[in-house]
Amino acid sequence: MIQVIEKILRSPWTWRQALTARPHDLNAPISDLFIWRNSAEWQTSFELIDIPRLFVDSEGDESTVVKLVFFNSSGYQFLSKEIVVLQAMRQTIDLAPYLTGINEEMGTFAVFHMSVPLAISSLGSYLAERGYVSYRYQGAPLRSYVHGNLDAIAQNTNGQFQALGGTSFFQRQYGLQFELTPGSQYQLCLVNPTPSEQKCVGKLVSINEGKILCSRPFKLIAGGVHELTFQSEVTESARVVIESHIIMARPVVFNIQNSKMDVFHG
């Protein structure tokens, strides 16, 4: 009886509110919506692996193809490019050649493996790309890596995109799992994996006193990305809370101190 009551109490937060949706098409490849950055300071690369070959006869000679789809910060697609995947090798794909002439310095991109092995689809499963993106800041000798976060977008066999991110009936709070301290610049980049525009609020909260140091409302276009930057506002140890109707509004955090940069999911 207690379990039934608990389930009823949770239902407003769980009923038909999955983290991600299932694609309409069983053979649709899935990808995270990764963040690209491209400027004099930033270089972005993607670590590509021939995932379909992990599920088929490794002695086959047939090459597989991935489709790179690029969106600007407002979720508008401006480029789609197919490339052949090297067999049994990891490829570091420099994204700069695909971003030539783009007037923005940040956007999103998806990586779709166009060959879905029968071993996957026959089980009712999907082939999802949530690999590693690397960023180089100010020509540093080493890149910083961050992995994919969730199933964000699918491309059905008719070529249409399907946003997979879930939304909540009620506003939720996502607490950044990282403490901000004075002396660094923090760039929190939040992607909208849902099919609709989202109204969000980013709050910087004092850890010691719990007071709100600053609050910034913003709109997040479907498929787009928004950057929250904190530096001078971090006068003491603080945490970030993001309020939205996105089931998991988990940002990518770029932590910059002098010329050093680190990137991670918060």
For residue 148, is pLDDT > 90? yes
pLDDT average, residue stretch 145-170: 93
d(CA 119, CA 142): 38
Beta-carbon contacts of 158 under 8 Å, excluding residues fewer than 6 positions away, are 25
pLDDT average, residue stretch 141-151: 94
pLDDT, the chain, mean: 91
pLDDT at 258: 87
The reply to whether the predicted model has a pTM over 0.85 is yes
Lowest mean pLDDT among 32-41, 58-67, 145-154, 210-219: 58-67
Task: Render 65-99 in DSSP notation, one character per residue.
Answer: EEEEEEEETTS-EEEEEEEEPPTTSEEEEE-GGGG
Q: Label the pairing between strands 30-31 and 128-129.
A: parallel
Closest CA to 20 of 250, 231, 226: 250
- Number of CB atoms found within 10 A of residue 143's CB: 18
Q: Label the pairing between strands 185-191 and 252-257.
A: antiparallel
Q: What are the structure tokens assigned to 248, written together?
A: 């998991």
pLDDT average, residue stretch 231-237: 93
Q: What are the structure tokens assigned to 185, written together?
A: 């610049």
* Tokens 């499963």 belong to residue: 125
pLDDT average, residue stretch 25-49: 96
For residue 119, is pLDDT > 70? yes
pLDDT average, residue stretch 99-108: 94
Question: What domains, with CATH codes, occur in the chain?
Answer: 30-163 (2.60.290), 167-265 (2.60.290.11)
d(CA 65, CA 75): 24
pLDDT at 259: 85
Give pLDDT tens digits for 155-165. Answer: 998 889 999 99
d(CA 145, CA 188): 15
pLDDT at 158: 87
- Number of CB atoms found within 10 A of residue 246's CB: 24
Beta-carbon contacts of 122 under 8 Å, excluding residues fewer than 6 positions away, are none
